[in-house]
Structure 1
Amino acid sequence: MTVLVNPKALVDHAPRDFKMLIDGRWSEGTADPIERVAPGHGVVVSRFQAGTRADAERAIAAARKAFDTGPWPRMTASERSGILLKAADLIAARAEELAFLDAVEAGKPISQVRGEIAGSVDIWRYAAALARDLHGESYNTLGDGTLGVVLREAIGVVSIITPWNFPFLIVGQKLPFALAAGCTTVVKPSELSSGSTVVLGEILEEAGLPKGVVNIVTGTGAEVGAVMTSHPDVDMVSFTGSTGVGKLTMANAAQTLKKVSLELGGKNPQIVFPDADLDGFIDAAVFGAYFNAGECCNAGSRLILHKSIAEDVVKRVAALSEKVRVGDPLDPQTQVGAIITPQHLEKIAGYISGAADGGADVAHGGKALDLGRGQFMAPTILANVTPDMPVAREEVFGPVLSVLTFETTAQAIEIANAVDYGLSAGVWSKDFDTCLTIGRQVRAGTVWMNTFMDGASELPFGGYKQSGLGRELGRHAVEDYTETKTLNMHIGGRTNWWMPQTEKLA
C-alpha cells in the first residue's frame, strides 16, 4: 500500500539553523552551511554548520583540556550518574522535537522514531546505573609482601562518529557510556541528519555537564571525521557506518594506535525450517526487511528457506508486503518512509536490476515510487537468488529481500556464513536443538531464535568479521571506554637483587 506525501506537511516549517558546540560555546563555521533537503518532502528543513579541520582541532583541544584538568573525570560516579539521569529525563521531555527532526532529516516514519527516542531514554538510564558499578579488582593472594590492585580509568578523549540512519539512537549507544566512564568527547553526526544530536548538546548543557566534556562538530567526514580519527590527542574512536569507511577509520587510528570500536555493515540471514511457526515468521520477515526502509545494518535482508516451503513462503511474504504502508514520514500510519538521497535510491535500483539480469525473479515490487515528493522505493522481494550474486553478498541498505534455499542444516549454515559480514542472524524452528545448532555455528554477534530484531539495553550488540570490532550496550559497555592499570604494592623491605647469593645466605 502506498500513500502520497502530504505536500502541506512542512509548509509552515521554516528551515531550522543549527550551530556547533565547542568548549561550552555555540559557534558558527566559516564556510557556507549545509542545507538538508527532507528526503520525504523535497524541501529544505535544516541548515548545519560546515565544520572545518580547524573546528575539529578546537573541539579536540577542548575535550583534551576538559579531561586533563576539568572536573568530569574527577567527579564521583554518583555525581556523573545523576547528570546522566537528568539528561534522560530531559530527552524524554523533548522527545517529540527529537522525533520530528529525525523523521524529516532522515525520512524515517515518525511512529518508528518515537519508539527509538523512548529506547534511547532507557539506554541513558542504563548507562547512568553502570557508572556507579564500574570497578576494578584486588589480589591479596600474591604472598605476604605483595598486594595487587587493578584500576579501571577513563581512557581519555573519545571521538564519536555516527551515521544518518539512526541519528539519535546510535549516539545514545555510545555517548552515555563514554560519559559514565569519565571520558570527554567530540561527536560528529552525519551531515545528512545532525539536528537531533545538536539538540542533545542543549540537553546536556541543561543537565549540568561541564563545558568541553561533549563537543559537537557538524560537517563532512573528509573535513571533520578525518581529523577526529587521526589526531594524536584523541585516545579512542567509536564509529558506526559502512564497512568501507570503517576500514579507513581504522587505518587513520592506526597512526597513533588508538583504541577503535567499529559497528559496521551486515548481510543478515533468517534461516527457516519446515517446522517453524510460519505465521510469526512471515510478519518478522516483512518487518526485518523493510524496517527503516531497509536502511539498517541489522536488516534481515536474506531469507534462507528450506526448499520444501520456499514457494509458499515467498507468496505469503509478497502478500503481506502488499499491505505495507509506504509514504509520508510524518504520517503516524506510515511503516516505510523515504530513501535517504536520490543517489542511494539509484544504488538500490542498480542492485535490483543487476539481480534480475543475473536470473533472479522479482516476486514483488522492484521499482522506485513516485509519491509526488521525495524519493521512495517499493518493498521488494527477489526470489531464486543464488549465493554468488552481489545482492546476496553485499549490503544493499534498502527495502530489498533476497530469497535463497537450502536442503540440509549444514547447507543453511554454509550459505549464512558465506559473506564478509557477521552482525546478526535469525533461525526459525520449533526444535530447539536445531535453533541451538544454528546459533552456535553461524558466525554473528547476535542470533535471534523464533523472533527477529528484538533488543534490550542489557544485551551486547556488535559483529563478527567485517561487521566490526567491539560491542555496544550490555553491562560491560562502560568498560570499553576505560584502560586498566595495575598497582603492584610491596609491603616491608625488599631483597637486594645485586647482593651475591653467598652474602644473602650469610
Structure 2
Amino acid sequence: MQQPDYGEARLYIDGELCAAEGRREYDNIAPATAKLIGRAADASIADADKALTAARQAFDRTAWSMDHQGRITALKKFVEAMRAEIKSLQDAMVAEAGSTRHNAETAQVNGPIAMTDWVIDYLEQFEWQRDLGEYTLTAFGTTSRRVLCREAVGVVAAITPWNFPLQIILAKIIPALAAGCTVVLKAAPDTPWTAALLGRIAQQSKALPKGVLNILTASQPADIGQFLSTDPRVDMVSFTGSTRVGREVMAAAAQTVKKVFLELGGKSPHIILPDADFGAALLNCLAVCYHAGQGCVLATRLLVPADRLAEVETTVSGYFDFITLGDPEAAGAIMGPLINRHQRQRVLSMIEQGVAEGARLIKGGGIPEGLQQGFYIEPTILVDEQGNSCVAQQEIFGPVLTIIPYRDVEHAITLANSSDYGLGAVINSGDETAAMAVAKRIRAGVINVNGGNFLAPDVPFGGYKQSGIGREMGAEGFAEYLETKTIAIGA
C-alpha cells in the first residue's frame, strides 16, 4: 500500500534518516479501523548501538553541552520547523493514536509544541554558575571561595508511551536538549510515525547538530529498552509508562547506577465533598472518557457521600449518554478507540474481574454496537461500595469510572490514599478552604480543586508512591537533566 505523507518509515541517527538494519519494517495499524495504514522502521540492537554511539560522541566531543546560546538558536529553529509541519503531526496522531481530530489539534499536538517556548525562555535566563561566597573551615584554618556549577547529565535514553506520544516526547527531549544533554529516543511501537516525523523535521531543518538527537522505532521495544537501560554509555533513563515496566527499567539502570526519572501509573481519586455543587462537579466525571480513558492522571475513582450514592449513579449515568464515539475524524466525535486489540481485551477483562470481585456494573462494559471493526469500548461505570476490587485499585487505562461511597471526610481521605499510586486528584467543595485542607492531605503530585487545571509548561508533573520518581516539566523538570558541581578555590 502507498504510505501517507506523514508515514515516516526511517530512523533518525547521527543527523541522518536511515532504514533500520536489514531494511526491517513492521505494520502500523489504525486503532479506529484495525486496518493497516502503512509501515514503520523496526530498529535492531545494532541500530540502537549506532544511535547511542552518536549521542555519546556528540556529548563528549562537541561543544553542545557547553554552548548555551547555540542550543537556544538550535531549539528555536527546531520548534519553528515543527510548527511548519503541524498538520502532518496532527494527521499522524489521528491515524495511529486514534485521537479525535479536535484532540489532535489541541492537547495532542498544538498544545505540546506551544509549551516548548517556556523551556527555551527558561534556558535563556537560567543561571549556570552561582558564587557561594567565602567560607573559612576553622578545623583546617583555610578559607575558600566556592562556585556552584550546573552541568548537563550526559546522554539521556528517553523511553515514551503511546497515549500522548508527542506531548511526552517533547516534555523529555526539549528540556534534555536545552540542559545540554544528548538524547536517544525510543518511541512506543504503536505510535511510531509521531516520533519518526520529528526525525524527518530535524533532518530537513538541519536545526540540530549531528548526534544530538537520535530516534528509534521498533515493533518489539523491550530488548532495546533493556540495552539502553544497562549500557554504561547512557547517563540517565527518562521513562514514562506502566509501573510494572518502570520497575524493570529501574532495576536495569541500577546495574550502572544511572540517574532515573520515572513517570508511571495512576489511579487518581475525585473527591466530591458534601457541600459541593453536585451537578457541576459530576460533569468532571466525563473526563474519564477523554482519549478513551488513556491518560495516567485521569480521575477514575469517584468518591461521594454514601447518602447520595443513588443520586450520583443516576446523574453520572445520564451524563455518560452525552459521550459520542466513533470515527476520530467525524465532526462531534468526543471519544475514539483504544490503542490496540490487546489493550481493549485487557480493559474488558478487568471490568469482568471487577464484577466478579463484587463491583456493580451500571453502564457500558462492552464493545459498542456498530463499532466492532476498530478497538472501541463503551464508556463504563461501576460501583464498588467497599473500594477494594481491581477496578477500584488498579490502573485500567480505559473509559472506566468506579464510584466509591464514603462515610465522612476522614473516610474519603483514607480511601483516596489507599491506592498504591499517587499521581493526581480532583476535589470539589463549596468551601475552598475546606477543599485545600483535604488537598494537602492527599498523597499525590498534582491536584485540581474546583475546576482548576494543573497542566502548564511551568508546572512540574509527577507522582508519589508507585506513580514514579522525579518531576517532568517546569523548573524541576529541567533540573532532572542537570548535575551539580561545586568548585572551591583557595582565597
TM-score scaled to structure 1, two decimals?
Answer: 0.91
d(CA) in 1 for partners of 2:176 and 2:448? 28
Q: Per-residue deviation at 1:138? A: 1.4
**1:191 alignment partner, one of 165, 189, 192:** 189
Alignment deviations for residues 169-227 of structure 1 (CA, whole Å, 9 cap, x no partner): 10011110001101101001101101111111222331520010000011132231111
The one-letter code matched in structure 2 to 1:191 is: P
Counterpart residue number, 1:309: 308
Q: Does 1:47 align with 2:45?
A: no
Would you say the 8 A contact 1:67–1:184 is kept in 2?
yes
d(CA) in 1 for partners of 2:476 and 2:303? 33
Q: Does 1:90 align with 2:88?
A: no
Q: Per-residue deviation at 1:93? A: 2.2
The one-letter code matched in structure 1 to 2:359 is: A
Counterpart residue number, 1:58: 50
Counterpart residue number, 2:90: 99
Name whichever of 100-109 and 139-148 sits farther off.
Answer: 139-148
Would you say the 8 A contact 2:8–2:196 is kept in 1?
no
Closer/same/farther in 2, CA of residues 324 and 65 from structure 1, 3 Å limit: same
The one-letter code matched in structure 1 to 2:401 is: L
d(CA) in 2 for partners of 1:89 and 1:154? 24
Q: Per-residue deviation at 1:88? A: 2.2
**What is the correspondence of 1:285-364 to structure 2 with a 5 Å cutoff?**
285-287=285-287, 289-364=288-363
d(CA) in 1 for partners of 2:331 and 2:93? 14
d(CA) in 2 for partners of 1:277 and 1:91? 42
- Partner of 1:108, secondary structure, is coil
Would you say the 8 A contact 1:23–1:63 is kept in 2?
yes
- Partner of 2:307, secondary structure, is coil
- Partner of 2:94, secondary structure, is helix
d(CA) in 2 for partners of 1:299 and 1:46? 31
Structure 2 residues not aligned, in runs of 5+: 137-141
- Partner of 1:377, secondary structure, is coil
Q: Does 1:71 align with 2:63?
A: yes
Closer/same/farther in 2, CA of residues 141 and 61 from structure 1, 3 Å limit: same
Closer/same/farther in 2, CA of residues 149 and 13 from structure 1, 3 Å limit: closer
Counterpart residue number, 2:119: 127
Structure 1 residues not aligned, in runs of 5+: 1-9, 492-506
Counterpart residue number, 1:5: none
- Partner of 1:455, secondary structure, is coil
Q: Per-residue deviation at 1:384? A: 3.5
Q: Does 1:142 align with 2:141?
A: no
- Partner of 1:61, secondary structure, is helix
Name whichever of 313-322 and 148-157 sits farther off.
Answer: 313-322
Closer/same/farther in 2, CA of residues 179 and 15 from structure 1, 3 Å limit: closer
Closer/same/farther in 2, CA of residues 89 and 279 from structure 1, 3 Å limit: farther
d(CA) in 2 for partners of 1:209 and 1:421? 38
Alignment deviations for residues 392-419 of structure 1 (CA, whole Å, 9 cap, x no partner): 1100110000000112111011101111
Highest Rg: 1 or 2?
1
Name whichever of 375-384 and 31-40 sits farther off.
Answer: 31-40
d(CA) in 2 for partners of 1:341 and 1:259? 32
Counterpart residue number, 1:236: 236
The one-letter code matched in structure 1 to 2:388 is: D
Counterpart residue number, 2:178: 180
Counterpart residue number, 2:139: none
Q: Does 1:401 align with 2:394?
A: no
d(CA) in 2 for partners of 1:286 and 1:18? 36
RMSD: 1.8
Closer/same/farther in 2, CA of residues 385 and 52 from structure 1, 3 Å limit: farther
- Partner of 2:486, secondary structure, is strand
Would you say the 8 A contact 1:46–1:105 is kept in 2?
no
Counterpart residue number, 2:487: 487
Closer/same/farther in 2, CA of residues 61 and 11 from structure 1, 3 Å limit: closer
**2:154 alignment partner, one of 134, 153, 156:** 156
Would you say the 8 A contact 1:156–1:184 is kept in 2?
yes
d(CA) in 2 for partners of 1:242 and 1:12? 31
Closer/same/farther in 2, CA of residues 359 and 448 from structure 1, 3 Å limit: same
TM-score scaled to structure 2, two decimals?
Answer: 0.94
The one-letter code matched in structure 1 to 2:135 is: L
The one-letter code matched in structure 2 to 1:41 is: T
The one-letter code matched in structure 2 to 1:200 is: L
Q: Percent identity?
A: 34
**1:80 alignment partner, one of 55, 71, 74:** 71
Would you say the 8 A contact 1:277–1:430 is kept in 2?
yes
- Partner of 1:441, secondary structure, is coil
Name whichever of 395-404 and 219-228 sits farther off.
Answer: 219-228
The one-letter code matched in structure 2 to 1:48 is: A
d(CA) in 1 for partners of 2:371 and 2:264? 31
Would you say the 8 A contact 1:385–1:392 is kept in 2?
no
Moved over 6 A (4+): none
Name whichever of 405-414 and 138-147 sits farther off.
Answer: 138-147
d(CA) in 2 for partners of 1:156 and 1:162? 19
Closer/same/farther in 2, CA of residues 441 and 207 from structure 1, 3 Å limit: farther
Would you say the 8 A contact 1:387–1:393 is kept in 2?
yes
**What is the correspondence of 1:407-486 to structure 2 with a 5 Å cutoff?**
407-451=407-451, 454-486=454-486
**2:16 alignment partner, one of 25, 29, 33:** 25
Counterpart residue number, 1:263: 263
Alignment deviations for residues 9-59 of structure 1 (CA, whole Å, 9 cap, x no partner): x99958934100111121112353110110102221231111111111111
Would you say the 8 A contact 1:134–1:152 is kept in 2?
no
d(CA) in 1 for partners of 2:438 and 2:331? 37
Would you say the 8 A contact 1:385–1:404 is kept in 2?
yes
Aligned residue-pair number: 480
